[in-house]
Amino acid sequence: MMKKITSTALALFVTFSLYAQEKVDMAMMQKIRKEGLENSKVMDLAFDITDGNGPRLSGSPGLRKAQAWAVNKLKEWGLQNAHTEAWGTFGKGWQVDKYYAAQTTPFYRPIIAYPKAWTPGTNGPIKSQVILIKADTITDLAKYKGKLAGKIVMMDRSAPIRVNDKPELTRHSDQTLENMANAQMQATPQGGGNRPNPNAANNQMAMLMRAREVQAAMAAMLVEEKVGLILTQARNGSYGTLFSSNGASYALDAKPVAPELEVSPEDYLRIHRLLKAGRPVEIEADIKTSFYTEDPKGYNVIAEIPGTDKTLKDEIVMIGGHYDSWHAGTGATDNGAGAAVMMEVIRILKAIDYKPKRTIRIGLWGAEEQGLHGSRGYMLKHFGNPTTMELLPAHKNLSAYYNIDNGGGKIRGIYLQGNAGVKDIFKSWLEPFHDLGAKTVTISNTGGTDHQAFDALGLPGFQFIQDPMDYSTRTHHSNQDTYDRLNPEDLKQIATIVAAFVYNTSERQEKLPRKELPKPRPTNN
């Protein structure tokens, strides 16, 4: 092992010449590699976040418990100002206390399903033949009036299981990475080009509005009828994979809804086929859920290693990822992996006794799944308002923010978010990790993660390119999103590379280059 490390270090010293304009401390890179790859604790952290704390749905006791654990762990490592910080009002917390459902006729079979988030329970055990509801218009609902109290129902709609003829678990190919590296910055369209057909758009909108009206009327009727339980088909799953979602709003003033189960396609489609064939199906269920309204605020976990350079210590390097998850799994790839990695980055830097020039701050964000609420709330409180572009004093002090939230696949490079000024810098910083598979720098952006909250304010916010693995096909928001889906070697690699980026950003003489500030967004009067 020692021979391998020595030869790797030698190769790095010999080959590191391509981007000489950006100095990199190769001795420190090797020190970070040794700690991150040989002494890693990332899987221990992932175990505590997932198996130890369970699901971390926004506003839930599970998330609060996990946040308290993270604060204590960061304090244990000697970080300063470790605390939970309110980002704003979230709404109702919710969790599943008990779930059981099974088909009892024409034969017994447990049902793979899970309560939809923010829906009530069944108020004790219920048992009923399933009623198939067919209603294409609001008028169609009238025939069910007075017949649904305490009943288990499902709508007469289904989607066949899609056969996937492609590999379920994948890594980026050389060609894909080359295409990313060769991508060009896209200009923002200013008009012209192909315009949508206004008549087609209006017809599509009218159809959507009618469907929503029927759906809203049906939901209201089912509550009024005091239906016992609704069965709905979970999206796009197969082989027992169940993708979870919400069945109601988390707002404090949300309208009441009926109990609802999201059912795996295999079980849902079997029940649907039997009913369509005129065969009675009986189901029993017992669901208990709890709502929490005592503290409707949402929280982030924040902690930092203070800077030591008298000139640069007020400047900030931030790392983070969202900490909340959905509730059918334990939020391992989404985003326990990102949280564990970023905590491991902090542990690595503390373990090598690094005294940063700039302050290093970690943020584990809440309510990302509902719209990046945690990171956006943090932006409003600390850096500025992206709508008005009224900036706070700390805005000028942030050098960079690095995010992990694309599953647990190893880093293959980094998205520049259109910031061409950092291209050669990041190429230099990735050079020592080419042997770990991380080479690609692309001008492109990936969406839907918390780095966008920073970018919206013109701050350098970045998400790394990660191997897809089975994130989209199997684990994202599903009951399969568990610790066992994490690859230890990939997480070690991620933490090591991010730690190196944090070190380089903190040590750099100047802050990272920025793009032009976004313009204020027009408001509708």
pLDDT of residue 212: 77
pLDDT of residue 79: 98
pLDDT of residue 3: 39
pLDDT of residue 206: 67
488-503 average pLDDT score = 98
**Which residues lie below 8 Å from residue 153, measured CB to CB, with a gap of 6+?**
130, 131, 132, 133, 222, 227, 229, 230, 231
Closest CA to 326 of 483, 113, 477: 477
| CATH dotted code for 8-89+297-507 | 3.40.630.10
pLDDT of residue 470: 93
DSSP-assigned letter for residue 46: H
* Helical segments of 417-513, H only: 423-430, 451-455, 488-507
What percent of the chain clears pLDDT 70, i.e. is strictly above it?
Answer: 91
Q: In the β-sheet with 461-466, what is the strand arrangement from edge to edge?
A: 80-89, 297-305, 359-365, 316-322, 398-403, 461-466, 411-415, 440-442
* Residue 196 pLDDT greater than 90, yes or no: no
pLDDT of residue 214: 75
Instruction: Give per-residue pLDDT as tens, 13-22.
Output: 444 444 446 8
* Residue 203 pLDDT greater than 90, yes or no: no
Q: At what angle do helices 26-38 and 2-15 cross, to 10 degrees?
A: 150
Give the bridge partners for 131, in sequence order: 153
DSSP-assigned letter for residue 48: I
Name which residue leads in pLDDT, 503 or 160: 503
Instruction: Give per-residue pLDDT as tens, 109-158.
Output: 999 999 999 999 999 999 999 999 998 887 888 899 999 999 999 999 99
pLDDT of residue 198: 54
Instruction: Give per-residue pLDDT as tens, 229-251.
Output: 999 999 877 888 999 999 999 99
- Tell which phi-psi region holds residue 178, choosing left (phi > 0), alpha (psi between -120 and 50) or beta: alpha
pLDDT of residue 187: 55
Q: Which CATH class is domain 96-159+198-291?
A: alpha beta
Residue spans of the domains in the chain: they are 8-89+297-507, 96-159+198-291
Instruction: Give per-residue pLDDT as tens, 26-56.
Output: 999 999 999 999 999 999 999 999 999 999 9
345-365 average pLDDT score = 98
pLDDT of residue 446: 87
- Model confidence at 168, pLDDT cuts 50, 70, 90, reads confident
SS3 category, 18: coil
Residue pair 241/481 in contact (Cβ under 8 Å)? The answer is no
59-75 average pLDDT score = 98
Instruction: Give per-residue pLDDT as tens, 509-525.
Output: 999 999 999 999 876 64
pLDDT of residue 201: 56
The C-alpha R_g of the chain, in whole angstroms, comes to 25
**Which residues lie below 8 Å from residue 253, measured CB to CB, with a gap of 6+?**
none
**Which residues lie below 8 Å from residue 379, measured CB to CB, with a gap of 6+?**
386, 453, 454, 456, 457
Closest CA to 423 of 181, 195, 252, 170: 181
